[in-house]
Amino acid sequence: MRTLNAITAADDLLEFLGTHPGERSRIHSVYPHALNLLVGESTLITITNRADLTPMGLELSPSESFAGLARAGEEIMLGTESLRSVNAAFEVNLEGASVWQSNLRADHPPRPIEEIASLRRRLAGWLASQPATGLMPLLPRLAKLPPRIGQASGNIYSRYIAEDLAALTGAINASDWEHAQTLADRLVGFGMGSTPSCDDFLAAYLLVLKAAEMLHPGRFGWVSAFNRAIARKAENRSTLLSANMLRHASAGKTGRSHQRLLRTCLLNVKDDLADAASQVFGHGASSGGDFLLGLLCAMEWYQNAISETSKKGESAWVALQRPQPAPGI
């Protein structure tokens, strides 16, 4: 039996393994540097030896391709100390692995609104210089940027879905959440790839909404219900991988590089914005760019929502300071 050693394990995976000892999973898909285990009908565990660590994921020490080690359909026994293939081909040793927190942490204060606006402009400028794949041809329209000289009109997918994406961003900016949910019916599962383009776009929104709820307690109490409603749509409209991604995003969980970018944009931490964006942009054929486009749009909502909340708070404070009429006798 081949023994593989885990370097890092996601906190939610360790919790899951603690409540499912001895349960069997089966290999859902195998890639050169990652494989997915399916537990039951809908829960995925991702094991990687090179790519980004994800929620419900394990990072192994670097090794050769998984392609020669595992095949789809093979069964894996789950345990708190190891994951063991039933056919005795390999075992993943979990002992000694560090724990990674898969959700965004409020370990730094939120950035001031003016910094959010500045970072959003910088991110938009950086993204405008990247290849226009997936939904990226819609960047000028959705981010309100001037079109690039010589830019193509886009691919068939971006042209087809352009109006719906513009309508969604408009509904969210107007706080019309019921209409936004209805519009999401046209978006969830739309696009090519294991995580369709519009799902990556929506994942960014769900993460920013959840971050707003966490960073500003009591102001956005509707977020959890809205996020769950969007994630539920993916259960029978999108791919299994994408449905898991949206479910995690609805709870504020995302991959390590995406988490780093969110922290850079929303929290008062020092990091290299271009480097963080570049790491995310490299995901998939177009997934990274689609996520970044959604992030730009979601940051616009966040900036406006926090500004509006602050103005209301200031107005209430000013009203309290005014002389109050004496009560009648």
What are the 10-residue block averages of pLDDT along the chain, 329 residues in total?
93 97 95 93 94 92 82 96 92 96 93 95 95 93 74 79 97 96 97 93 98 95 97 96 98 97 96 97 94 97 85 42 42
DSSP 83: E
Q: What is the predicted pLDDT for the residue at 152?
A: 55
Q: Is 191 helix (H, G, I), strand (E, B) or coil?
A: coil
Do 135 and 248 belong to one domain?
A: yes
User: How many whole angstroms separate alpha carbon 92 and alpha carbon 8?
Assistant: 12
What is the span of the domain harbouring residue 14?
Answer: 2-100
With respect to residue 146, please indicate whether it lies within any of the assigned structural domains.
yes
Integer CA distances (angstroms), 274 to 64, 130, 261, 277, 297, in order: 30, 11, 9, 5, 18
User: How many whole angstroms separate alpha carbon 149 and alpha carbon 73?
Assistant: 49
With respect to residue 62, please indicate whether it lies within any of the assigned structural domains.
yes
Do 93 and 231 belong to one domain?
A: no
With respect to residue 249, please indicate whether it lies within any of the assigned structural domains.
yes
With respect to residue 266, please indicate whether it lies within any of the assigned structural domains.
yes
Neighbours of 4 (CB within 10 A): 18
Q: What is the predicted pLDDT for the residue at 223?
A: 97
Q: What is the pairing mode between strands 2-10 and 57-60?
A: antiparallel
The last residue of a domain, from among 54, 73, 100: 100
With respect to residue 323, please indicate whether it lies within any of the assigned structural domains.
no
Domain count, the chain: 2
With respect to residue 325, please indicate whether it lies within any of the assigned structural domains.
no
Do 186 and 248 belong to one domain?
A: yes
User: How many whole angstroms separate alpha carbon 178 and alpha carbon 180?
Assistant: 5
Q: Which two tokens stand for residue 39?
A: 């537990």
- Dihedral, CA of residue 244, residue 250, residue 253 and residue 256, to nearest 10: 80
| Burial class of residue 28, CB neighbours in 10 A (0-12, 13-18, 19+) | middle
With respect to residue 143, please indicate whether it lies within any of the assigned structural domains.
yes
DSSP 272: -
Do 92 and 136 belong to one domain?
A: no
Do 220 and 260 meet the contact criterion of CB atoms below 8 Å apart?
Answer: no
- For residue range 286-314, list pLDDT tens digits in order: 999 999 999 999 999 999 999 876 555 44
Do 128 and 39 belong to one domain?
A: no
The last residue of a domain, from among 66, 100, 134: 100
Which segments within 205-266 are labelled E, that is strand? none
With respect to residue 329, please indicate whether it lies within any of the assigned structural domains.
no
Do 193 and 302 belong to one domain?
A: yes
Do 182 and 294 belong to one domain?
A: yes
Q: What is the predicted pLDDT for the residue at 325?
A: 45
Neighbours of 153 (CB within 10 A): 8
Do 259 and 203 belong to one domain?
A: yes
Q: What is the predicted pLDDT for the residue at 329?
A: 30
| Burial class of residue 141, CB neighbours in 10 A (0-12, 13-18, 19+) | middle
Do 116 and 265 meet the contact criterion of CB atoms below 8 Å apart?
Answer: yes
Q: Which of 220, 176, 191 is nearest to 293 (CA)?
A: 191
Integer CA distances (angstroms), 185 to 172, 238, 246, in order: 15, 11, 14
Q: What is the predicted pLDDT for the residue at 310?
A: 55
Global pTM exceeds 0.95: no
Do 49 and 163 belong to one domain?
A: no
Looking from the CA of 168 toward its CB, the CA atoms found within 13 Å total 22
Q: Which of 116, 142, 105 is nearest to 310 (CA)?
A: 116
Residue reference for tokens 């990247």: 130
Do 241 and 295 belong to one domain?
A: yes
Question: How far, in whole angstroms, is CA 327 from its chain's centroid?
Answer: 54
DSSP 66: G
Do 11 and 35 belong to one domain?
A: yes
